[in-house]
Structures are given as structure tokens and as C-alpha cells.
Amino acid sequence: MKGITTLKSKIIEKGPIFAILPALLIVILILVPFGYSIYYSLTDASLIRTEVNFIGFNNYLKYFRSGLLWHNFKVTFSYTFLALIFEFSFALNQDTLLGKVLRPLALFPLMISPIIGTIMWKLMMNPEFSVLNFILSPFGVTKDFSWAASSSSALYSAVLIDVWMFTPFIAIIVLAGLKGIPPRIIEAASVDGLNRFTVLRKITLPLLMPYIVICLVFRFIDSIAQFDIIFGLTRGGPGSTLMVYQVEAYTQVFNYYKIGYGSSIMLIMWLIVFIVCNFLIKYWNKLRERLR
């Protein structure tokens, strides 16, 4: 018993050290790979040779001049913009009859991994035995509609999977925000004769904005860095139709063995996410101050 008491006293004395160890471990696990990425992006490192030469910003200049940057930018932000628009639209319409009916099923997509969900949707989109084509045939969808196999519909197919998978995440946070709005405010607005659209625009949305911005930050990061859905669905194809930053970096490293070049692409993506998320977080802080 004396030994246990002594051990407890030593742990209490060194409490601050034990408290920061998890945070220190996380910092190390983040900063060490990040530092290696910066180093490799400034070299011509390759998977097929051991020699590594320092080449400065040549990888970045090559990426800018190749035209891949703007193509990846266009595809990535088209995917992100479409996914966020649909997800927020569905999440903000939870009070409709359809929303109330589907609410008990909302958690199901969050229970499976993105790659498993993507494989499931890929099978349903297969032109040879497409379940979706059969279900949607009354609405004019033909049996040979190719979904992700066509460059004209591949982006929308990937967005469909993303919307199905991540709308529940936004819906849960938005629902928490809706439950936090005092009912007397909505009742007072109704007594004053305001219609539902005006109540939504003037009262509900302003009070929900901190929650919406939180969702936007998380979903923006996830959509910009999307890999599972697009890689599992088409590996960036057909051609380069769905070649977002993550898939482009993966292709350069594991198909063309260019570690340095792939690292530079990932760091450019990180810089975009860092700038946009900093702006959103500052906006979120302003909203919090305004609502106090």
C-alpha cells in the first residue's frame, strides 16, 4: 500500500507532464510527416532510385506551368461547391414531410466507411446491371446510362455519393442548432405576421450561422481533400475528369514514382485549405461576438 501511495504522489507531482504528453504526441505525429513533405517537395525524390537531389522550387514551377494545377483546381472546387450546395440544401429542409420521414435513417451513411459506401454505389451504377437505372427508368433514365463511366456525368455521380454519405453529418449539427433556437422567437414572428420564408431568412438563418460555418469548415476540408470516393469510383477518370488534388498527388507518387512532385501538389492543396479555413474561422468568431 505504501508503494502505491508513493507512486500516486509521484504521478500527481508530475501531473502537468503527463497532461501534455498526448498533445505532444499528436504534434509530433503531425509535424514530422509535414516536415518530410516540405523537404521532399524541394527535391527530385523518386520511388525507383535512392539518389535525392535538392532542386528548390522546381517542382512547384513545373506544376504551375504544366496546366495540371488549374485543371485540378477546377475539378476540386467544382466537386466541393456542388457537394456543399446540395448537402446544406437538404440539411436545412429537415422540417419538411420527407425530412421527418428520412430522419431516423440519417445516421446510416455515417456508420460505414466512405470506400465501402463508394463500392456499393459503384455496383448500383454499373450499366450492365444498374439498380439505379431500373429505379429511375420512369423518369427518363435509359438502361445504358453510364453514370461514372462517362466524362459528362462522372462528377455528378461522385457528388451524389458524397451528398448521400455526408449530408447526415451536416443535418445533425444543423438540427442541434435548430433545437437551440427559443420557440418564443419563432412564435413572436408568426404573431407579427411574418411568413415562413421571412422567418427563415431574418431569424433562423442568422441564429444558425455559427453552426453552418462549423459544418462548412469541416466539410470544406473533407471535400477539398477528398480521396476515398473519387479513387474508389473512377481513380480520377474517365481520363482526368475527376483528377482532384489528392488523386493527382497519389497518381504522381505511385504511378509515376515522383515523391517530390506529388509532395508539392499536396502542399499546394494544404495552403488552399489553410487560407480558406482561416477566413471561415475568423468569420465564425465574428458571428459569435455578434450573437452575444
Is pLDDT at 191 greater than 80 in this prediction? no
Read off the DSSP letter of residue 129: S
Contacts by 255-262, CB closer than 8 A, 24 or more apart: 257/46, 257/47, 257/48, 258/46, 259/40, 259/45, 259/46, 259/47, 260/40, 260/41, 260/42, 260/43, 260/44, 260/45, 260/46, 260/55, 260/59, 261/59, 261/62, 261/63
> Exposed, middle or buried: residue 49 (CB in 10 Å: 0-12, 13-18, 19+)?
exposed
Q: Is residue 158 part of a domain?
A: yes
Tell me what percent of the residues of the chain surpass a pLDDT of 90: 33
Q: Name every residue whose Cβ is closer than 8 Å to that of residue 81 and which is 6 or more positions away in sequence.
A: none
Compute the distance between CA of residue 149 and CA of residue 237 in angstroms, rounded to an integer. Answer: 8
Is pLDDT at 46 greater than 80 in this prediction? yes
For residue 127, give its domain range: 66-291
Compute the distance between CA of residue 265 and CA of residue 53 in angstroms, rounded to an integer. Answer: 18
Does 66 or 101 have the greater pLDDT score?
66
Instruction: Give the Å distances, CA to CA, from 144 to 2, 131, 149, 156, 199.
Output: 78, 12, 11, 17, 45
Q: Is residue 277 part of a domain?
A: yes
- Give pLDDT tens digits for 223-257: 888 899 999 999 998 888 999 999 999 999 999 99
Instruction: Count the domains in the chain.
Output: 1
Is pLDDT at 195 greater than 60 in this prediction? yes
The answer to whether the Cα torsion of 189, 191, 194, 195 is positive or negative is positive
pLDDT of residue 206: 81
Which residue bears the cell 420521414?
101
292 confidence band (pLDDT: 50, 70, 90): low
pLDDT of residue 259: 93
- Give pLDDT tens digits for 56-83: 999 999 999 988 889 999 999 999 999 9
Q: Is residue 57 part of a domain?
A: no
How high is the mean pLDDT of the chain?
Answer: 83
Mean pLDDT value across residues 102-126? 83
In this structure, what C-alpha cell is assigned to residue 59? 517542382
Q: Is residue 70 part of a domain?
A: yes
CATH number at residue 227: 1.10.3720.10
Q: Within 13 Å, how many C-alpha atoms sit on residue 126's CB side?
A: 8
55 confidence band (pLDDT: 50, 70, 90): very high
Q: Is residue 26 part of a domain?
A: no
**Cβ of 4: how many Cβ atoms within 10 Å?**
8
Q: Is residue 9 part of a domain?
A: no
pTM comes to: 0.84
13 confidence band (pLDDT: 50, 70, 90): low
Q: Do residues 81 and 162 make contact, with C-beta atoms less than 8 angstroms apart? A: no
Compute the distance between CA of residue 147 and CA of residue 141 in angstroms, rounded to an integer. Answer: 10
pLDDT of residue 83: 92
Q: Is residue 24 part of a domain?
A: no
pLDDT of residue 269: 92
Does 196 or 52 have the greater pLDDT score?
52
Is pLDDT at 5 greater than 70 in this prediction? no
Mean pLDDT value across residues 180-193? 76
Read off the DSSP letter of residue 43: B
**Cβ of 187: how many Cβ atoms within 10 Å?**
10
- Give pLDDT tens digits for 127-172: 777 788 888 888 777 777 888 888 889 999 999 999 999 988 888 8
Q: Amino acid identity, residue 188?
A: A
Q: Is residue 29 part of a domain?
A: no
Does 265 or 3 have the greater pLDDT score?
265
pLDDT of residue 17: 62
Is pLDDT at 39 greater than 80 in this prediction? yes
